[in-house]
Amino acid sequence: MVTHVTLCRSPELKSKDITHCARHGESVLKKLGDFTIKRKIAEGGMGTVYLATQESLQRDVAVKVLKDKFADDQAFVNRFIREARSAAALVHPNIIQIHYVGNDSDINYFAMEYVDGENLRDHIRHKIRLSIAESLDIIIKVTDALALAADRDMIHRDIKPENIMITSEGRVKVTDFGLAKCMLSDSSAITEAGKVLGSVNYMAPEQGLGKEIDTRADIYSLGTVFFELLAGRPPFKGDHPTSVIYMHVYEAPPPVTFFNKGVPPEIEAIIIKMMAKEPDNRPQNANELLGMLEEIRESCGLRPSKGRSSQTIKSMNTTAQQHLIPGAPRVLIIDDDQTINELYKNVIHSMGCNVIIARDGIQGLDLWRKTKPDLVILDITMPNLSGLAVLEERDSEQLSGSVIVATASADWKTIKRVSSKKVSGYLLKPFELKVFRQRIIELLPGIMDTERE
């Protein structure tokens, strides 16, 4: 029995209209069979997800309600039910368990394990900084889940950050196993550019070409997620899905070390292998890949440290925002050289400016977004995200502030590449403090140089 609280103007609603109105906030769906709906928690391409209570067991679950445009297609509904039932057979600590598949008054839905946390996309969007060890640990756990699915002849087909959950306790859970098959069988899923772009960033070449796929396509997709965790961006970016698919099929990805110089060669090599254009050149199954990843973790000593939480990382990134002088210019320094940072800090403080310090590229980009500096002093050879990569992200996100690039290298080819990124000046280390101070005065007109007074 479906029950609801009506907020729509019309006093009478058909059952399928209830979900339509609920998605627009005009009606609140209250009950589906054994499940009492509490609130909406997410919306995706296939349907709306609600937090609910399963009354018979008195436990919280997530209920996904199929969208009307799919519910009206009986062939799609049959595929949806078949794939959901197959996924329900996957019992693994790193897979979100499906508990129930049902239909109530023409509303198709399934209930699954509720995860208190966020998906990996939100993790990346919030710029919670993951170490190389933590990134590797996530990939290993997803690979373990894929191994079980492959043993049951199941392919995920849509491995991407949105389908990888991180619980509040730090556990990794893969969701929507097999359900992408329903979407990919529906022509409308390919024609909606806004919907498909989230998947084509991670789509294997053979999948983009419409060929038959196997578990090696999931391995390719996981390689692209691994790349993004370490680089801060997907390997291929484009304005249209077809251009991204073209790059997956025909172009080599950039080296992950271009964006993160701290990545060990062993990890760079396994990402290249996972993202091989030809499936025969990738690890042939998830169990093989799992062995490779475990071996890399041991040989490189990349066990994730215990007790390092998302809250700890967030607090690290926001420490430099404290005690800012209201109204004073803000200067963000992105440099891993602590001695240089102290010199920068003393000179800039003497000029009446706020100083914000980041010691690697990822933290620097995060603070750039949060503090909106007037001037950024950027070392071009930063760890965890190179200065060039930081500038690329600055351009794509249109972050404000003038930029001075500092480098200890006289490699003018590198300098020339940087000059195309719209920077305001350069400093070649070591430099005279007098030159440094004058450059800041030029870029921040009107600031008070208290030392001159």
Dihedral angle of Cα 340, 344, 350, 351, to the nearest 10 degrees: 160
Count of CB atoms within 10 A of residue 92's CB? 17
**Is 158 known to be catalytic?**
yes
Q: 257-260 long-range contacts, Cβ below 8 Å, gap at least 24? A: 258/231, 258/386, 258/388, 258/389, 259/230, 259/231, 259/232, 259/233, 259/385, 259/386, 259/389, 260/230, 260/231, 260/232, 260/361, 260/383, 260/384, 260/385, 260/386, 260/389
Write phi, then psi, for 187 (nearest 5 degrees): -60, -30
- Residue 446 token pair: 């009107």
**Identity at 234, one-letter amino acid code:** P
Write phi, then psi, for 386 (nearest 5 degrees): -65, 160
Number of H helices, E strands in the chain: 19, 15
Mention every residue, 6+ apart, whose C-beta is less than 8 A from residue 9: none
Catalytic position from the list 144, 158, 186, 218: 158
444 vs 284: CA distance, rounded Å? 56
Q: Which residue has the tokens 């996972």?
A: 274
Give the catalytic positions in this structure: 158
